[in-house]
Amino acid sequence: MNNSDVSRRPHHEVVIVGLGPTGATLANILAGYGLDVLVLEREESVYPLPRAVHFDDEAMRVFQSIGLAEGIGRDARVNVGTKFVDRDQKLLLDWPRPQEIGPLGWYPSYRFHQPDLEAELNRGIAACKTVTLHRGASVTAVADLGDVVEVGYSHDGAKQVVTADYVIGTDGAKSVVRAAMDCEWEDLGFQERWLVIDVQLDKPRPDLGDFTIQTCDRDRPTTYVRCPREWRRWEISLWPEEEADDVTTDEFIWPRLRPAITPDEGRIARKAVYSFESKLATRWREGRLMIAGDAAHLMPPFLGQGMCTGIRDVANLAWKLAAVLRWEAPDSLLDSYESERREHTRTYIETAVRVGEMMNSAETAEALTHAIRPDGAAQMNSISRDLDHAIGPPEDEMSGMRMPQPRLDTGELLGDAMAGRFAVIGPGEVLEKVTLPPENIAAAISAEAHPEVAEVFSDLGITAMILRPDFYCFGSVGPQNSGGLRDVLAEFKKQVHG
């Protein structure tokens, strides 16, 4: 095919393949930067039954950044935590989740109904003038031609071909975009088959409780999840010899639903055998092709971090695409997407695997406590993970640190004032003396004008900071930086604002 043939193709800045929560979040973020986005989704409509059931405060902060937190939060419920019990339902360990707003500006843990979440994300996309969505579109070819990517797909009975500056695969474990890249799966060693059952209650069952119930039983670990409204979930570990056709029968399922529930109290809306795996794609970027979410990683669900990790992926990637396509940043900035996200994700996968193995082996409170906290502390803590290999000023220990979200003196949260931009935060008199990035790239915020910001800075021992749009620190001014904010801004200009 010659160059003139390619140049006549319809062109988009970004093509997203796959419209689950990860792809839909990415489309919403990119639209906020005014990028021309085409989304290709194989399914004709949103899947009507639950799949993922948990997200955290970091994911909610991303939803806040695209203006959808209120609607998503309205349909979700704050998670109260997990009780680990033995096969006789005797309590082994209590893991309550905080019922107060946390340092990121949201509750630390939420339970949700995925069709509700996707409806809100799709509502956001429908309001985006620069996003085109084609449902019922099957991608048949992805080819990186060097200066553009060519994407072939079938839609409405016709074959279509478009080009794009970048193509992002958020199309799940069987990603066609990953298949077009030179990458394999790195297997981290966990693989188990579980039966997942979603029940819609016909009548209230308050005695089932609001806590997640994790039954630690070497013979058959099980999980009960309190989901929003009338939805409840059970996950049952399967033996190797048990066939899917046998374990999805009513005769197998109903006797095993714990705490007890009977067929006259609810209906089974979904029953599916899943293979819980732990895998990382060996490459997340090849040229103009990138992957995110389940296309890039698979993890067992024991931490409820699978979807959350995909949301973090696209929050990281989206602003870097905007920087390259709008802010004259070098294309090499996109290399940091993989270097920052891949090892970060590994930590979550390995922790989820450890919790899963613990559920399979620990049957006493002592063994469970030791498995969770070898130091003997009978508690579990949420992961708060900074980025390794983060971009930013060399030797700045705060580069890549996940930052709190204080409330400004105006009453709005910090992320709302950022509006998808960087934030340069510091003393007002210092901000007046330095050359700041353009307003469409960074918001200048006087630290002393906002007491909660000043308190965060005091706790961190810094006087100024550049905060990234994904709410990790780019660089800081403290005792280790004698050059002050000018040095941090110079590094910002070199790496982000060409």
Between strands 77-78 and 109-111, the pairing is: antiparallel
Residue 394 is assigned to a structural domain of this protein: no
C-beta neighbour count of 138 within 10 angstroms? 12
Does 9 or 37 have the greater pLDDT score?
A: 37
Q: What is the pLDDT of residue 337?
A: 98
Which of 254, 278, 302 corresponds to the end of one domain? 278
Mean pLDDT of 31-56: 95
Residues 220-258: tens digit of each pLDDT: 999 999 999 999 999 999 999 999 999 999 999 999 986
What is the distance between the alpha carbons of residues 264 and 371, in angstroms, rounded to a whole number? 39
Residue 173 is assigned to a structural domain of this protein: yes
Residue 378 is assigned to a structural domain of this protein: no
270 and 296, same domain (yes or no): no
Residues 267-313: tens digit of each pLDDT: 999 999 999 999 999 999 999 999 999 999 999 999 899 999 999 99
Residue appearing with tokens 């160059």: 3
Residue 403 is assigned to a structural domain of this protein: no
- Asked if residue 20 has pLDDT above 80, the reply is yes
What is the distance between the alpha carbons of residues 337 and 355, in angstroms, rounded to a whole number? 27
Between strands 158-169 and 11-17, the pairing is: parallel
CATH number for position 286: 3.50.50.60
304 and 348, same domain (yes or no): yes
Strands of the sheet with 464-467, listed across from one edge? 442-446, 422-426, 464-467, 473-477
Q: What is the pLDDT of residue 418?
A: 98
CATH number for position 246: 3.30.9.10
Residue 80 is assigned to a structural domain of this protein: no
Which of 353, 372, 391 corresponds to the end of one domain? 372
Domain count, the chain: 3
Does 329 or 370 have the greater pLDDT score?
A: 329
B/e letters for 325-352, b = 16+ CB within 10 Å, e = fewer, are bebebeeebbebbbbbbbebbbebbebb
What is the distance between the alpha carbons of residues 43 and 131, in angstroms, rounded to a whole number? 18
476 confidence band (pLDDT: 50, 70, 90): very high
- Asked if residue 367 has pLDDT above 80, the reply is no
Mapped onto helix, strand or coil, the DSSP state of residue 82 is: strand
To the nearest whole number, what is the mean pLDDT of the chain? 93
Residue 143 is assigned to a structural domain of this protein: yes
Residues for the chain: how many in total? 498
Mapped onto helix, strand or coil, the DSSP state of residue 270 is: strand
Identify the DSSP state of 418.
H
Tokens linked to 423: 């934030």
What is the distance between the alpha carbons of residues 279 and 282, in angstroms, rounded to a whole number? 9
- Asked if residue 3 has pLDDT above 90, the reply is no
Identify the DSSP state of 413.
B
Residue 383 is assigned to a structural domain of this protein: no
What is the distance between the alpha carbons of residues 296 and 184, in angstroms, rounded to a whole number? 10
204 confidence band (pLDDT: 50, 70, 90): confident
Residues 104-123: tens digit of each pLDDT: 999 999 999 999 999 999 99
Domain that holds residue 193: 187-278
Mean pLDDT of 159-188: 97
Residue 15 is assigned to a structural domain of this protein: yes
Radius of gyration, alpha carbons of the chain: 24
Q: What is the DSSP string of 168-205?
A: EE---TT-HHHHHSS--EEEEEEEEEEEEEEEEESS--
Lowest mean pLDDT among 163-167, 287-291, 377-381: 377-381
Entry pTM: 0.95
371 confidence band (pLDDT: 50, 70, 90): low
Mean pLDDT of 175-182: 96
The contacts of residue 489 (CB under 8 Å, 6+ apart) are 424, 434, 435, 436, 437, 466
What is the distance between the alpha carbons of residues 265 and 254, in angstroms, rounded to a whole number? 11
**Is 102 in contact with 71 (CB distance < 8 Å)?**
no
Mean pLDDT of 131-151: 98
Residues 430-447: tens digit of each pLDDT: 999 999 999 999 999 999
384 confidence band (pLDDT: 50, 70, 90): low
Tokens linked to 414: 């910090």
194 and 154, same domain (yes or no): no
- Asked if residue 372 has pLDDT above 60, the reply is no
- Asked if residue 179 has pLDDT above 50, the reply is yes
Tokens linked to 463: 């006087």
47 and 66, same domain (yes or no): yes
